[in-house]
Amino acid sequence: MVNESDFIEQLISETDRDKAFNKLIDLYQVRLYWHIRKLVITHENADDVLQNTFIRVYKGISKFSRQSSLYTWMYKIAYNESIRFLELNKNKHSISIEDVSTKYLNSLLEDTFFEADVLQLKLQTVVSELNYKQRQIFNMKYYDDLKFHEIASILEMKEGTIKTLYYNAVKFIESNIETLTLKKKTLIQNIENS
């Protein structure tokens, strides 16, 4: 791939824009999809939010200030689109953003593509017990492999605060994952039946 600056120029160019945008989708759609999916839960909702994300990227690429990487900028758009989606649906379905992690865990167990072992299930259970901000930061760092400064940019928080919340989340996970007893019999039954 060409360097990012040249690629952005292709995305802005009238003649190269469509070809470059198709390449952009090929490069980033899977990573953005899974980031969105963690937030909005279902495949159908994630697809809708991903489509809205790429529409915003397409329309806004000429205004991209290049103060962050292209991926960080798109990730922030995906994050904002996901939050916007959750807020709209919260009003329709009276579900809080805090309830999303519980719903996500239950969806994972019902998902035929999720092949959980006990440790993965324990990790997801402990992560779901984190407060919303810690869970976001942990997911961005651990699963999406973002750097602290990228997370700070996306969430519009100080990098030191991000680090503190992340390391507190890690401590909580480490201290609770080994002693976790799964309270729902259905969780254990799902593992044993798979």
pLDDT in tens, 146-185: 999 999 999 999 999 999 999 999 999 888 877 765 444 4
- Of 125, 138, 135, 141, residue with least CA distance to 183: 125
Dig out the tokens for 179 from the structure: 């002693």
Check residue 186 and give its pLDDT. 46
pLDDT in tens, 100-143: 555 555 554 555 454 455 666 777 788 888 888 898 899 899 88
Class of domain 96-194: mainly alpha
pLDDT in tens, 70-83: 999 999 999 999 99
Dig out the tokens for 76 from the structure: 């922030």
Alpha helices in 16-158 (DSSP H): 17-40, 43-60, 70-93, 100-110, 118-128, 132-138, 148-155
Domain boundaries, the chain: 1-95, 96-194
Check whether domain 1-95 has CATH 3.40.250.10, yes or no: no
- Of 34, 33, 12, 75, residue with least CA distance to 4: 12
Q: At what angle do helices 70-93 and 148-155 cross, to 10 degrees?
A: 50
